[in-house]
């Protein structure tokens, strides 16, 4: 068998196995939404922008629901990851804020509250 053909096949296998390993390490975190309270806000654009809070906002807000974050293999450790997992729920339910509060002892985010802050003072 031609050595260059063998090298090419081995390289293809190496690339495939590297990609598979990376996929396994990153895992796929998911999120679920549960509506809370009685306040309803109008749905927003699917790529809406919203503010993330780690402490309660200094203004009144309405709670729209809770996002439970189910960890993948590597867990959700950054606000960017939380934002992307929660975005569909925030936007579909008319939220303009996300109050992140549940943190697992390993440093993984586990819960967030979708909120609506009125612009009226």
pTM here is: 0.72
Could you tell me if residue 92 is inside a domain?
yes
Number of domains present in the structure of the chain: 1
Could you tell me if residue 16 is inside a domain?
no
Could you tell me if residue 62 is inside a domain?
yes
Could you tell me if residue 2 is inside a domain?
no
Could you tell me if residue 54 is inside a domain?
yes
Point out the residues of the chain with pLDDT beneath 50.
Answer: 20-26, 120-121
Please give the pLDDT value at position 22. Answer: 45
Neighbours of 87 (CB within 10 A): 19
Strand 30-35, strand 97-103: pairing? unpaired
pLDDT in tens, 76-105: 778 888 899 899 999 999 999 999 987 777
Rounded distance between C-alpha atoms, residue 17 and residue 26, angstroms:
14
Strand 51-53, strand 97-103: pairing? parallel
Q: What is the greatest pairwise CA distance in the chain?
A: 78
Please give the pLDDT value at position 120. Answer: 46
Could you tell me if residue 4 is inside a domain?
no
Domain residues for 33? 27-116
Could you tell me if residue 21 is inside a domain?
no
Backbone angles phi, psi at 92, to 5 degrees: -60, -30
Please give the pLDDT value at position 4. Answer: 61
Please give the pLDDT value at position 26. Answer: 45
């Amino acid at each position: 068998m031609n050595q260059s053909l063998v090298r090419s096949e081995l390289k293809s296998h190496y690339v495939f196995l590297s990609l598979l390993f990376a996929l396994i390490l990153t895992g796929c975190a998911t999120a679920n939404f549960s509506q809370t309270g009685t306040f309803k806000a109008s749905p927003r654009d699917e790529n809406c922008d919203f503010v993330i809070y780690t402490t309660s906002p200094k203004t009144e807000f309405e709670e729209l629901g809770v996002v439970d974050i189910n960890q993948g293999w590597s867990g959700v450790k950054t606000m960017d990851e939380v934002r992307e997992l929660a975005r569909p729920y925030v936007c579909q339910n008319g939220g303009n804020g996300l109050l992140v509060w549940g943190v697992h002892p390993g440093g993984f985010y586990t819960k967030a509250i979708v909120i609506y802050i009125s612009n009226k003072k």
